[in-house]
């Protein structure tokens, strides 16, 4: 049985992640199936819109299947991960530019690759259990799947805070930060999906539960301004719950990934397009297995579960600018391209 159910129901193309025991983590095969369906539906007159959802109450999608990436990577097969990210990023771009409406319904955990699948859709629905985050720095990677595009457009320095700490957003905060559009109680989702399958795009929009970001934005803007050397020092000097939470997150993350994430966000800014973000992200992820902390981060978090990663650097100040520049340098003939996939 496939890990993703793809079918047409009345007027809708339907994509349902069906791997709930693994929190609907994306495998390369799943990404390929989803992207093939999207390509086929572009010119299909029977498909007026697309609905993306997932089975199980715990997660829409908790990210990519990083255990598989780790196994291939430590065996020296870096090409597997490079090919996976290439295919996935093209799918993310296709979702963002899709000529027909795509509606995503994101319950529970929506992390990493789940953000790339759900948060670039035209209509992004969250419910009361939604928890959206980009926690890649904790495993030695940068926020990817076009996530830096969303982070760079978030209000003030909220994107920097989210990207460096991996903080989770409930439904209200996800809407505030620009990762979602509408709150609909999850009990109403079956009726909503049925209406969408009939071609009805009159989406309901209920008041979302109150989030914390409107209250915390001034503090976040102050604490997360400046360089990666300045941010931890400012957090250490601030006696608030937010500062303590953020400092703990930074200390358990890869200094190299933190430095590269901040550099990507500074290069992008709010006006950059998703392809610019994906290009920069791919420069890092292409090199992540051999030149960054990704394999060690997965070992510590997922494989051995000792939560004691041996990062390449002891703290962010030890990361040299030329190291970051090297990880984000153009890839030449290996660069991420979109043209051949969009013809």
Catalytic residue, candidates 63, 108, 113, 116: 113
Out of 88, 136, 181, 293, pick the active-site residue. Answer: 136
CA distances from 117 to 33, 34, 73, 185, 302 (A): 13, 10, 24, 21, 22
Confirm whether 64 is a catalytic residue.
yes
Q: How many CA atoms lie within 13 A of 145 on its CB side?
A: 28
Half-sphere exposure of 186 (CA within 13 A, CB side): 19
DSSP letter assigned to residue 192: H
The conformation of residue 206, written as its DSSP 8-state character, comes to B
* 144, 173, 281, 293: the active-site residue: 144
Catalytic residue among 13, 48, 53, 64: 64
Catalytic (active site) residue 136 = yes
User: What are 258's two structure tokens?
Assistant: 């933190």
What's the per-residue H, E or C state across 92-119?
Answer: HHHHHHCCCCEEEEECEEEECHHHHHHC
Q: What is the DSSP letter of 215?
A: H
Rounded CA separation 22/25 (Å): 6
Indicate if 53 belongs to the active site. Answer: no
Residues 6+ positions from 184 with CB-CB distance below 8 Å: 105, 125, 126, 127, 192, 203, 204, 205, 206
The contacts of residue 199 (CB under 8 Å, 6+ apart) are: 10, 11, 12, 48, 49
What's the CA gap between 226 and 204, in Å, rounded? Answer: 40
127 is catalytic: no
Would you name the residues annotated as active-site residues? Answer: 64, 113, 136, 144
């Amino acid at each position: 049985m496939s890990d993703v159910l793809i079918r047409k129901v009345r007027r809708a193309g339907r994509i349902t992640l069906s791997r709930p025991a693994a929190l609907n983590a994306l495998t390369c095969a799943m990404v390929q199936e989803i992207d093939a369906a999207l390509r086929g539906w572009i010119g299909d007159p029977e498909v007026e819109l697309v609905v993306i959802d997932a089975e199980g109450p715990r997660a829409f999608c908790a990210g990519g299947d990083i255990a598989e990436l780790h196994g291939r990577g430590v065996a020296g097969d870096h090409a597997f991960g490079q090919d996976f990210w290439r295919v996935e990023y093209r799918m993310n771009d296709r979702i963002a530019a899709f000529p027909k409406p795509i509606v995503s319904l994101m319950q529970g955990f929506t992390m990493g690759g789940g953000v790339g699948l759900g948060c670039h859709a035209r209509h992004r629905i969250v419910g009361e259990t939604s928890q959206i985050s980009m926690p890649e720095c904790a495993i030695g990677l940068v926020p990817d799947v076009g996530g830096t595009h969303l982070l760079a457009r978030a209000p003030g320095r909220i994107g920097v805070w989210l990207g460096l700490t991996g903080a989770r957003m409930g439904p209200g905060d996800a809407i505030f930060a620009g990762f979602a559009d509408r709150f609909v109680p999850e009990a109403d989702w079956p009726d909503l999906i049925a209406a969408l399958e009939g071609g009805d795009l009159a989406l309901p929009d209920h008041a979302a539960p109150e989030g914390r970001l409107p209250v915390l934005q001034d503090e976040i803007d102050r604490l997360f301004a400046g360089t990666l050397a300045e941010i931890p020092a400012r957090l250490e000097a601030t006696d608030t719950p937010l500062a303590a939470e953020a400092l703990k997150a930074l200390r358990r993350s890869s200094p190299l990934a933190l430095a590269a994430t901040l550099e990507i966000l500074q290069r992008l800014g709010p006006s950059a397009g998703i392809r610019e973000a994906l290009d920069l992200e791919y420069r890092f992820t292409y090199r992540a297995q051999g030149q960054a902390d990704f394999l060690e981060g997965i070992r510590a978090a997922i494989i051995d579960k000792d939560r004691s990663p041996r990062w390449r650097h002891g703290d962010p100040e030890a990361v040299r600018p030329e190291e970051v520049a090297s990880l984000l340098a153009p890839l030449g003939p290996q660069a991420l391209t979109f043209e051949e996939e969009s013809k």
